[in-house]
Structure 1
Amino acid sequence: MTSQPDPREFVGVGLYTITDAAQLLKAPPRTIRRWMEGYDYSREGERRHVEPLWRPDLPEIDGEVEISFRDLIELRFVRAFTEIGLGLKAIRNCLDVARDCIGSDRPFSTGRFRTDGKTIFLESLGHSEDPKLLDLRKTQYVFRDVVEQTFRDLDLEDDMVARWRPYRGKETIVVDPARAFGQPIATAFGVPTIVLFEAARAEGSAARAAALYEVDPAVVRDAVRFHEELAAA
């Protein structure tokens, strides 16, 4: 029988399934799984294996990969980089160089990566053979802008990402590994946003849900829009 972990182990760490992470990142679960577990493919009749981008912080639970808050934020950067056309090989090279330069196994989620990301990226290009990256001047500025935009809704403490404001960067909703195991909550009230969303749907209005949980109606409306956007992604 597999022993169940003590929930207290995840306070300040965060705990997400592949499905949780995929929903928050608005990415296909299969994509997140490939990044975190690796995958096999065939070429010219030969079966090959691609290693995961990194090993998760957390051990598997009942045979399933679990993702920490730090993993989640790193994946968010990977997602942003793929959306501007970077291949996984280039991202892996950047990750390796960033680890060496910053001295952290989760370098994307550090304040130093915010300031030195472009330099690290350019250095990593020297290790890449990706033909898509020939126009280095254009790529480096796009990369810099993506890094800056991605950090806008992240809060740093001691040079590490401590919190994420996932709904358009607004202060009303936060993902904080020190609260509710990192699930999205109403910042000032601590109520999980999924609870507010489902209450608004059940009660027929944000105002009724707000009265039920003693929160600001505007927060309930943000929670509803937040989950509607996640569902539509």
Structure 2
Amino acid sequence: MKHSENNLVGIGLYTPAEAGRLLRISPAKISRWLRGHDANGKHYDPLWQPQVDLGDEGFALGFRDLQEVRVAATFIAKGLSAQRVRQAIELAREIIKDDRPLSTARFKSDGRTVFLQVAEADGQTKLIDLFKKQFAFEAILEKSLIHLDYDEAGIPSRWWPLGRSRSVVIDPARSFGQPIEAETSVPVEALATAAEAEGSPEAAARAWDVPVRAVKRAVAFRREMDMRQAA
């Protein structure tokens, strides 16, 4: 379904480039996973359908897509093929009853069983060896689901991309999911841009009537994102 601005509220909106900076993953890789691709004469379907359909303009990621990509990327980085991750997603949908199951709180406990079932059905032992010890699986999930808040249904609701101590949060219900400075609820981009335009964090803080520390956090966050883009 093509989304309008009104029904994007609570979903979040990120281009592959924006998602790539936040997740430290190649935008091209994200596009392959969510748009599908052809390789070696074979077609690969998307791992899942992205939340935001832009019609002829392509697609964008929603907040839930960001979190699913985080988990999928972690497992693929551990040596699993995208095809095995796809199988796990399909099985997890049935078990967890969610179209984007990997980032749910329930997947933290049921995910190991999901992957073991995938391995069993595939006749391979690699996944079984990988998750033979519970702590190994938990360590992989912890890396991919760190700094997340969940709602009462166990669905990701907020993400602190650099950790809570950095006081920048991504909440799909606020500012279309763009990073905001948590203490003031002002978008990071607005504060960082003001610091540049006003010539200092102090001047920007006066202009926005916010603490100087809030502006400095925003500037530091944007600097980190710029460094990731340049890398």
**Please, what TM-score do these two structures have when normalized by structure 1?**
0.86
CA RMSD of aligned residues (A): 2.3
Determine helix, strand or coil for the equivalent of 1:13: coil
Determine helix, strand or coil for the equivalent of 1:210: helix
Q: Provide the rounded CA distance (Å) in 2 between the counterparts of 1:86 and 1:217.
A: 45
More off after superposition, 127-136 vs 143-152: 127-136
Name the residue aligned to 2:39: 41
Q: Deviations over 1:156-176 (max 9, x none)?
A: 102111111112243721111
Unaligned runs of 5+ in 2: none
Given the alignment, which residue of 30, 33, 37 partners 1:32?
Answer: 30
More off after superposition, 100-109 vs 31-40: 100-109
Alignment of 1:176-195 (within 5 A): 176-195=171-190
Given residue 118 of structure 1, which amino acid in structure 2 is its aligned partner?
R
Name the residue aligned to 1:59: 53
How many pairs were matched up? 226
Q: Provide the rounded CA distance (Å) in 1 between the counterparts of 2:121 and 2:191.
A: 48
Q: Provide the rounded CA distance (Å) in 1 between the counterparts of 2:83 and 2:192.
A: 39
Name the residue aligned to 1:75: 69
> How high is the sequence identity, in percent, across the aligned residues?
38
Any conservation in 1 of the 2:16–2:30 contact (CA below 8 Å)?
yes
Any conservation in 1 of the 2:74–2:143 contact (CA below 8 Å)?
no
Determine helix, strand or coil for the equivalent of 1:108: coil
Deviation at 1:223, TM superposition (A): 2.0
Q: Provide the rounded CA distance (Å) in 1 between the counterparts of 2:136 and 2:223.
A: 29
Determine helix, strand or coil for the equivalent of 2:157: strand
Name the residue aligned to 2:20: 22
Q: Does 1:197 align with 2:192?
A: yes
Any conservation in 2 of the 1:25–1:79 contact (CA below 8 Å)?
no
Q: Provide the rounded CA distance (Å) in 2 between the counterparts of 1:220 and 1:142.
A: 39
Determine helix, strand or coil for the equivalent of 1:55: coil
Q: Does 1:166 align with 2:161?
A: yes
Any conservation in 1 of the 2:119–2:128 contact (CA below 8 Å)?
no
Deviation at 1:33, TM superposition (A): 0.4
Unaligned runs of 5+ in 1: none
Any conservation in 2 of the 1:93–1:128 contact (CA below 8 Å)?
no
Deviation at 1:20, TM superposition (A): 1.7
Given the alignment, which residue of 90, 103, 106 partners 2:100?
Answer: 106
Determine helix, strand or coil for the equivalent of 1:126: helix
Q: Provide the rounded CA distance (Å) in 2 between the counterparts of 1:81 and 1:136.
A: 10
Q: Deviations over 1:2-54 (max 9, x none)?
A: xx954121111111122221121111110110010011112xxxx21111101
Determine helix, strand or coil for the equivalent of 1:155: strand
Deviation at 1:213, TM superposition (A): 1.8
Given the alignment, which residue of 136, 141, 144 partners 2:138?
Answer: 144
More off after superposition, 127-136 vs 69-78: 127-136
Name the residue aligned to 2:113: 119
Any conservation in 2 of the 1:90–1:130 contact (CA below 8 Å)?
no
Q: Does 1:175 align with 2:175?
A: no
Determine helix, strand or coil for the equivalent of 1:215: coil
Deviation at 1:130, TM superposition (A): 6.3
Deviation at 1:100, TM superposition (A): 1.4
Q: Provide the rounded CA distance (Å) in 1 between the counterparts of 2:74 and 2:217.
A: 23
Name the residue aligned to 1:87: 81
Name the residue aligned to 2:150: 156
Given residue 107 of structure 1, which amino acid in structure 2 is its aligned partner?
P
Q: Does 1:10 align with 2:8?
A: yes
Deviation at 1:154, TM superposition (A): 0.7
Name the residue aligned to 1:210: 205
Q: Provide the rounded CA distance (Å) in 2 between the counterparts of 1:94 and 1:167.
A: 28
